[in-house]
Amino acid sequence: MVRAAVLPAVGAPLEITDIELPEPGPGRVRIRLAAAGVCHSDLSLTDGTMRLPVPAVLGHEGAGTVLAVGEGVTHVAPGDGAVLNWAPSCGECHHCRLGEVWLCASALTGAGGVHARTADGTQLHPGLNVAAFAEETVVAANCVLPAPDGIPLTDAALLGCAVLTGYGAVHHSARVRAGETVVVFGVGGVGLAVLQSARLAGASTIVAVDVSPEKEELARAAGATDYLVASATTAKDVRRLTEGQGADVAVECVGRAVTIRTAWESTRRGGRTTVVGIGGKDQHVTFNALELFHWGRALSGCVYGNCDPVRDLPVIADHVRAGRFDLGSLVTTRITLDGIPAAFDDMVAGRGGRALIVF
């Protein structure tokens, strides 16, 4: 039996309880978690914005140590460090054949399986495949990436979602070029990773926008050259900071219609807006046909940073080891499993960066 954070039903409070994990069968791996990040996607599962089977063990951003492997697993062994990959690619579907592994049609099929049981025998699903809000987890082998050498596992946990998403949004989706101007909406864990990644890409002006004035120091430490508290004049303020033109690139990390629209309006004619934030079906963004023609701007969604974790994790690890990317600065709170509900409250209120569960 291990302790875990269980979502009994959509809209219900989390329960921190004991669960019973099976031994790893063929093609599966058991991992003892070192740390897990609390991501907005976990909150989106609790309120029904994202729909996956419940009851479920939440958590999808984590790292730990391999305890045991099932038959056929050869890329990791007991004692190895591991980073969890919540969206593994099948390598066979249409998108995988195109090289768009972040859009794999089978990426979340594992979330429908039986992951564990409670003491009374209730079957539990793995919320986003990997069930990282637990002392230990058992996952499919393709959800396990060897942890990069030289990076503590507590820091490496952030690589599994926030950093891959933020890095990829800049380098793969928006494709920021040296000297370009960038505006980032939302200074949470992913937004902080976007800011650092924009700095890595050589952006000249990097504007951070958030509803909270208290996040300015965090944003500037991550690479922001300017900071704006969100208001009705945000798009105009961004143009003022970018020689009257608007930013070359906007990255939206909030998932709200008004923020997406403002991000689009904050870019120059011909600018590019990448939407990372996960919004609800009730968030409708509207444009008129004439402005779409006139401004010539591009608007695109971004899933998992348009990343291939197998390819991108070693690249990011090199930046971390060289001191060009600071994983620790994304974390503003270190908690236990019992602190997850308060971390959710902080996200809703717009407080802090990443909350990290340390086991």
**pLDDT tens-place string over residues 257-292:** 999 999 999 999 999 999 999 998 999 999 999 999
The phi and psi torsions of 347 (rounded to 5 degrees) equal -65, -45
Alpha-carbon gap, residue 30 to 137, rounded angstroms? 6
C-alpha distance from residue 13 to each of 47, 111, 192, 345 (Å): 10, 20, 28, 12
Residues 195-218: tens digit of each pLDDT: 999 999 999 999 999 999 999 999
Residue 38 pLDDT grade (very low, low, confident, very high; cuts 50, 70, 90): very high
Q: What are phi and psi of 31, to 5 degrees?
A: -130, 135
Six token digits for residue 35: 């740390």
pLDDT at 139: 98
Stretch 81-96: mean pLDDT, rounded? 97
Please tell me the predicted confidence (pLDDT) of residue 242: 98
Asked if pLDDT for residue 50 goes beyond 90, the answer is no
Alpha helices in the chain (DSSP H): 40-46, 94-97, 153-156, 162-168, 189-200, 216-222, 234-241, 257-265, 289-295, 309-321, 340-349
3-state DSSP call for residue 110? helix
Averaged pLDDT for residues 175-195: 98
Please give the pLDDT value at position 169.
98
Distance separating alpha carbons of residues 83 and 292, to the nearest angstrom: 41
pLDDT, tens digit (0-9, with 9 covering 90-100), for 216-251 = 999 999 999 999 999 999 999 999 999 999 999 999
Q: What is the distance between the alpha carbons of residues 61 and 157, in angstroms, rounded to a whole number?
A: 6
Per-residue confidence (pLDDT) for residue 203, from 0 to 100? 98
For residues 60 and 39, the answer to whether their CB atoms sit within 8 Å is yes
Question: CB of 104 within 8 A of CB of 90?
Answer: yes
Q: What percent of the chain has pLDDT over 70?
A: 100
Do 41 and 137 meet the contact criterion of CB atoms below 8 Å apart? no
Q: Which of 61, 85, 68, 59 is nearest to 146 (CA)?
A: 85
CB 322 within 8 Å of CB 315 = no
The dihedrals phi and psi of 234, each to the nearest 5 degrees, come to -55, -45
DSSP 3-state assignment of 312? Answer: helix
CA 130/CA 138 separation, integer angstroms = 7
Contacts of 142 (CB under 8 A, 6+ apart): 85, 88, 89
Rounded CA-CA distance 17/23 in Å is: 19
Model confidence at 85: pLDDT above 90 = yes
Rg (CA), the chain: 20
CA distance 248 to 176: 8
Rounded distance between C-alpha atoms, residue 250 and residue 230, angstroms: 14
∠ CA 91-94-99 to the nearest 5 degrees?
60
